[in-house]
Structure 1
Amino acid sequence: MATITRVELQMVDLIPKVKRVDAIQSFVSQETPFVTIYDSDGAVGRGYSYTIGTGGPSVMALLRHSLAPALIGRDPDRIEGIWRDLLFMTHATAVGAITSLALAAIDTALWDMRCRKAGLPLWKAAGGSRAHVPLYTTEGGWLHLETAALVDDAVEMQARGFRGSKIKIGCDHISEDAARLAAVRAAVGDGYEIMTDANQGFTLSEAIRRAQLLQEHGVGWFEEPLPGDDVGAHVELSRHCTVPIAVGESLYSVSQFKDYLQSGAASIVQVDVARIGGITPWLKVAHMAEAFNVMVCPHFLMELHLSLVCAVPNAKWLEYIPQLESITTEPMRIEDGYAVPSNAPGLGIHWDSAGISEKSLFSEIVTEGS
């Protein structure tokens, strides 16, 4: 039986190529923790997660002082057991973002190792439901952009074969959101999907008010209309809104998704592999959503989510927000607006190891006794 002998920890801060502003924040950097796991047979697996500009050092501290040392000597094939043990080991800080992000970096590394050993790409090892998935873009729909820029980007992406665009909403007055949506709809026509995202910026009354506007423009979904921890408010909103309610990027446990699904508070699940704690719980949420006949459309991390949405049968879209070009050797494959997962064994991400090391703000190796 192979055992884990060494864990390498690194963190890179990736600066977005474009300005990203939504209703509550500006996305100025992506602190990206990496975990690389080595076993006694010489196998290697690399995983990662992310923060939006803050919290990265706290994630690295939890990995260094608690989680990475607990991996030494473990059987890397027992992914479910390791994930559960690490969760209970950190029960005083779970459920929460820092713990989930740390667990995700480890869990994705273990899945990468498993797939490499098996000679399988993740999208097949985790289910193999489909060989490609349609893309929608968020990168040209940020809240600070002028209406003309929103229109230009949507038209360009439509010409490239993309099937939809996400427009950030939450302008000071509903009329401003209305004008932006109307302009994009007029430019792309009825056959192109428009999603909207409020980034938790509304009160219940304002979300109910703006729901009517979204219905008028045939919007595909109303994303994060309210604070993610208020399930009851989402239930009430769903009673007033025929547009599908999408939530998930601000939820950090399988049980939180269970509460939304059981109460009918969301009709689209946007589970984020980093914020839920890894591939292991991501698949649980996706299959649970399938049991409720609910679609999965994950948040961010397109390079990793590509394999996962192709693994399960109830994932319709992949969100296009590029962020890893500076630390990968090959881009995500796109054909006529569809993302195509890699058939290489592992996560399907072609890392530039030298580039990661060069850009790393934190680097440490954990071994037995260290």
Structure 2
Amino acid sequence: MSRIDRVEVLMVDLKPQVMRTDAIQSFVSQETPFVRIYADDGAVGTGYSYTIGTGGHAIVDLIVRHLAPRLIGRDPDAIEAIWRDLFFHTHATAVGAITALALAAIDTALWDLKCIRSARPLHLEAGGAQPSLPLYSTEGGWLHIAAGALVEDALAVKARGFGGAKIKVGRPPKEDVRRLDAVRGAVGDDFEIMVDANQAFAVDEAIRRARLYEPFDLAWFEEPLPAEDMGGHVRLSNATTLPVAVGESIYSLQHFREYLQHGACSLVQVDVARIGGITPWLKVAHLAEPFNVAVCPHFLMELHVALACATPQGRWIEYIPQLESLTSSGMRIEHGRAYPSSAPGLGIEWDFAAIDHLRVDGRTWSIGSGGSPCA
């Protein structure tokens, strides 16, 4: 039986290639914690998570001081047991973003290690339900972008074969309407438009805006309310014909269960980093199946393409490129569809020289095999 004998932890801070703004914030930095798990048989698994500008150091510190030391000597195939042990070890800080993002970096590394050792790609190891999925783009729909540029980007991605584009909302209501009208008029009826409010509205405002947006036949109305307001999402879902999408700001399987049981959403956008890794991500995706609810994961397209294709509820992949400077090849895209890698592991070809060069403070922590949390 193989054992974990060393864990390495580092963080890279990536700056977005384009300006990214929404109704409540700007995406100014992608702090990216990395975990590399070494087994005593020579196999190595790499995992990661992310923030959008704050909290990265707290995630790294939680992993280095409290989580990584508990991996040493464990069987790397006991992924479920390890996830539950680490979750309950940090129970005083869960459920929440910092703990979930730390667990995700470890859990994705364990799944990478599992797939490498089995010589199977993640999308087959996790289920193999679909060969590919359609893409929609968010990268040209940020809130600061003028209406004319929104139209240009939507037409460009449509020409590439993409099935849709997401437009951020949160400007004055009539201005949002004018922007959506411009895009719909340009792309026609055979192209999906999604809108995303990033939790900016109160219930009354969300209901009002939903009625204004309904004539544009939108694919969904994303994060209209704060994620903790499940009751508000029920009221909104009952008041509009628009599908309501939630999930990127939900951090536990149980919260997804409550949303689904109460009819508070029509789509789930579970994020592998924010839910705590591949292990709970798959549980959410399979939980959605008996409710006949689609899974359209948030961000992290290079990892989500394998997961969404692994499950029957996967419907869309969100196109926001963010790893080009850290990888030697990108996600496979053909005719507007995303295809998971057939290589063993997560399907991400890391450029470890680039990762090493971009380490925050030029630092890597090593735990186990003679290393220490302060190495």
- Normalised-by-shorter TM-score class: over 0.9
**Paired residues of 1:93 and 1:99 also in contact (CA < 8 A):** yes
SS of residue in 2 equivalent to 1:182: helix
Read off the aligned partner of 2:19 and give its amino acid letter: K
Q: 2:299 matched to 1:300? A: yes
Distance across 2 between alignment mates of 1:344 and 1:213 = 46
Q: Which residue does 1:163 correspond to in 2?
A: 163
Aligned to 1:227: 226
SS at 2:13 equivalent: strand
Corresponding residue of 2:258: 259
**Corresponding residue of 2:45:** 45
2:2 counterpart residue number: 2
**1:106 deviation in Å?**
0.3
- Hey, what does 2:93 align to over in structure 1? 93
- Map 1:1-370 onto structure 2 (within 5 A): 1-171=1-171, 173-361=172-360, 362-367=363-368, 370=372
Code of the residue aligned with 2:117 in structure 1: it is K
- Provide the rounded CA distance (Å) in 1 between the counterparts of 2:94 and 2:202: 27
| Aligned partner of residue 349 in structure 1, secondary structure | coil
- Alignment check: 8 A CA contact 1:35 1:105 kept: yes
Given residue 150 of structure 1, which amino acid in structure 2 is its aligned partner? L
How far apart in 2 are the matches of 1:203 and 1:336? 39
Give the superposition deviation at 1:51.
0.3
Structure 1 distance, partners of 2:160, 2:116, is 33
Deviation at 1:332, TM superposition (A): 0.8
CA distance in 2, matches of 1:96, 1:368: 31
Residues of 2 paired with 1:230 and 1:237: CA distance?
11
Q: Which amino acid in structure 1 is aligned with residue 215 of structure 2?
A: E
2: CA distance between counterparts of 1:340 and 1:316?
13
TM-score normalised by L of structure 1: 0.99
Give secondary structure in 2 for the equivalent of 1:63.
Answer: helix
1:174, 1:92 → 2: CA distance?
Answer: 41
RMSD: 0.7
Letter in 2 for 1:280: T
> What amino acid is the match of 2:341?
S
TM-score, length basis structure 2 = 0.98
C-alpha separation between the residues in 2 aligned to 1:300 and 1:266?
A: 19
Rounded to whole Å, the distance in 1 between the matches of 2:289 and 2:213 is: 26
Give 1:301 deviation, angstroms. 0.3
Q: Which letter does structure 1 place at the counterpart of 2:330?
A: P
Q: Give me the whole-angstrom Cα distance separating, in 2, the residues matched to 1:311 and 1:28.
A: 32
Q: Deviations over 1:182-237 (max 9, x none)?
A: 00000000000000000000110000001112211001100000000010000011
Amino acid at match of 1:192: F
> Counterpart amino acid of 2:182?
A
- Between the two proteins, what is the percent identity of the paired residues? 64
**Equivalents in 1 of 2:146, 2:60: separation in Å?**
38
Distance in 1 (alpha carbons) for counterparts of 2:106 and 2:324: 22
1-side partners of 2:87 and 2:312: how far apart?
28
The offset of 1:363, in angstroms, is 1.3
CA-CA distance at 1:368 after TM superposition: 5.1
SS in 2 for 1:62: helix
Give, in whole Å, the separation in 2 of the partners of 1:130 and 1:250: 26
Rounded Cα–Cα distance in structure 1 between residues aligned with 2:298 and 2:281: 12
Q: Secondary structure at the match of 1:116?
A: helix
Q: Distance in 2 between matches of 1:97 and 1:62?
A: 12
Question: 2 CA distance for matches of 1:109 and 1:39?
Answer: 11
Contact 1:69 1:368 in 2 (8 A): no
1-side partners of 2:210 and 2:239: how far apart?
Answer: 8
Matched residue of 2:364: which SS? strand
- 1:324-355 superposed Cα distances (whole Å, 9 cap, x missing partner): 00000001110000011110000000000010
Query: Any conservation in 2 of the 1:22–1:199 contact (CA below 8 Å)?
Result: yes
Partner SS for 1:37 = strand
In 1, Cα distance between the equivalents of 2:120 and 2:195?
36
Instruction: Report the Cα distance in structure 1 between the residues aligned to 2:282 and 2:325, rounded to whole angstroms.
Output: 28
